[in-house]
């Protein structure tokens, strides 16, 4: 099994990229979450020398690999059938160019609009440099889509899309204006199943971090609207065992007047945040 050290899911854009390289390509991984702006990351990474940042992966043999580009390349070599890079040579080269430019660039966008998946603002007063980054994004997205014909940048969902998923989250979260093609691409990310699961976990996996607080007016998150579930007291539920772990039910939610149980608060709360993101829960709900 792979290990992956990650930061707060709501805020750590690089962790999201690293985790997508597993989850969106069907590779199993165990996550170790560190809360940013505490000493948790440094403490966990003592076992991952010389890594200093999240995400950092450890392979089943014990090789330590930080840096998302290195994680992408290493996983692609080790799992050649997972589809991390496109098979077609031209599209593969395009995907590598896009991921590399994302890894190295877009610093104005990244610093003015740090990823925060918990809120969406109506406006963020983007600077000229941020607008230039948005223009550049749209140039390279259009370049890729013109060659692939979509639906993702290089045809099927690839590492290039995983690298831009946090950017889609920023465009949505800060209501950044982009053209119709980029808007459709952002909407596809907001509905992408792995992203919905990550964001659902990010809504509930730790406190709001002051560093990301902004005073701009807020609006509703522009992605798919979650089914209206809420937490309830007690252990009474239709199911006696948790759909995720098969352990006895201890935490319960209510949806459409029906009660469903889970074996811990996190799994109950991540399901409340976006029930449709979780296939095992939806299997139970639709049974
Ligand atoms: N170039 C790195 C960037 C990783 C990065 O900056 N991660 C942030 C979290 S999003 C981090 O670990 N920050 C904590 C720190 O720098 O102490 C990569 O591609 O993985």
Nearest CA to ligand 1 atom 20: 67
- Split at pLDDT 50, 70, 90, the class of 247 is very high
Nearest CA to ligand 1 atom 5: 53
Mean pLDDT score, 52-62: 98
- Split at pLDDT 50, 70, 90, the class of 282 is very high
Cα gap 219→178, rounded to integer Å: 18
- Split at pLDDT 50, 70, 90, the class of 22 is very high
User: Would you state the pLDDT for residue 256?
Assistant: 96
User: Would you state the pLDDT for residue 226?
Assistant: 96
- Split at pLDDT 50, 70, 90, the class of 124 is very high
Print burial letters for 139-167: b (CB count within 10 Å at least 16), e (below 16).
ebbeebbeebeeebbbbebbbbbbbbbbb
The shares of helix, strand and coil residues in the chain, as percent rounded to the nearest 5, are 45, 15, 40
Which atom in ligand 1 lies closest to the alpha carbon of residue 42? 17
3-class secondary structure, 256: coil
- Split at pLDDT 50, 70, 90, the class of 164 is very high
Q: Report CA-CA distances (Å) from 257 to 248, 272, 283.
A: 21, 14, 17
Residue for token digits 């296939």? 279
User: Would you state the pLDDT for residue 211?
Assistant: 92
Cα gap 255→27, rounded to integer Å: 31
- Split at pLDDT 50, 70, 90, the class of 43 is very high
Mean pLDDT score, 220-241: 96
- Split at pLDDT 50, 70, 90, the class of 262 is very high
For 73-112, how does the pLDDT look when each residue is reduced to its tens digit (9 = 90+)? 999 999 999 999 999 999 999 999 999 999 999 999 999 9
Nearest CA to ligand 1 atom 15: 53
User: Would you state the pLDDT for residue 108?
Assistant: 98
- Split at pLDDT 50, 70, 90, the class of 173 is very high
Structure tokens at 50: 């010389």
- Split at pLDDT 50, 70, 90, the class of 270 is very high
Q: Which residues line ligand 1 (CB under 6 A)?
A: 7, 12-15, 41, 53-55, 67-68, 103
Q: Backbone phi, then psi, for 266, in 5-degree steps?
A: -60, -45
Ligand 1 mutation target, pool 11, 14, 33, most atoms within 8 A of CB? 14
Cα gap 56→171, rounded to integer Å: 26
- Split at pLDDT 50, 70, 90, the class of 195 is very high
Enumerate residues 6+ apart whose C-beta is below 8 A from 142: 181
Q: What spacing in Å lies between the alpha carbon of 249 and ligand 1's midpoint? A: 37
User: Would you state the pLDDT for residue 228?
Assistant: 97
Mean pLDDT score, 39-45: 97
User: Would you state the pLDDT for residue 275?
Assistant: 98
Q: Report CA-CA distances (Å) from 248 to 40, 119, 244, 264.
A: 30, 34, 11, 10
Cα gap 37→111, rounded to integer Å: 16
Q: Report CA-CA distances (Å) from 66 to 7, 11, 77, 177, 231.
A: 13, 18, 16, 33, 37
Share of the chain above pLDDT 90, in %: 100
| DSSP H or E run through 77 | helix 68-78
Q: What spacing in Å lies between the alpha carbon of 14 and ligand 1's midpoint? A: 6
Nearest CA to ligand 1 atom 1: 67
User: Would you state the pLDDT for residue 273?
Assistant: 98
Q: What is the CA radius of gyration of the chain?
A: 19
């Amino acid at each position: 099994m792979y290990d992956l050290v990650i930061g707060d899911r709501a805020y750590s854009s690089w962790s999201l990229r690293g985790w997508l390289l597993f989850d969106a390509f069907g590779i199993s991984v165990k996550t170790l979450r560190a809360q940013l702006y505490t000493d948790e990351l440094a403490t966990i990474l003592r076992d991952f020398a010389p890594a200093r940042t999240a995400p950092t992966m450890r392979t089943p043999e014990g090789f330590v690999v930080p840096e998302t580009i290195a994680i992408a390349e290493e996983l692609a070599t080790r799992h050649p059938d997972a589809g991390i890079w496109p098979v077609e040579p031209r599209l593969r080269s395009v995907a590598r160019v896009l991921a590399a430019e994302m890894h190295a660039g877009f610093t104005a966008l990244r610093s003015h609009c740090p990823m925060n998946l918990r809120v969406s603002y109506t406006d963020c007063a983007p600077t000229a440099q941020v607008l230039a980054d948005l223009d550049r994004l749209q140039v390279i997205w259009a370049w890729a889509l013109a060659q692939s014909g979509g639906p993702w940048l290089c045809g099927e969902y690839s590492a290039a899309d995983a690298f831009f998923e946090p950017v889609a989250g920023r465009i949505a979260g800060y209501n950044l204006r982009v053209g119709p093609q980029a808007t459709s691409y952002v909407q596809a990310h907001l509905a992408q199943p792995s992203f919905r699961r990550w964001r659902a976990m990010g809504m509930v996996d730790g406190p709001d971090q002051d560093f990301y607080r902004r005073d701009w007016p807020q609006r509703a998150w522009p992605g798919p609207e979650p089914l209206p579930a809420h937490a309830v007291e007690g252990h009474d539920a239709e199911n006696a065992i948790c759909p995720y772990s098969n352990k006895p039910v201890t935490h319960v939610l209510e949806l459409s007047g029906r009660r469903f149980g889970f074996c811990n608060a996190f799994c109950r709360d991540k399901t409340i945040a976006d029930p449709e993101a979780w296939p095992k829960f939806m299997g139970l709900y639709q049974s």
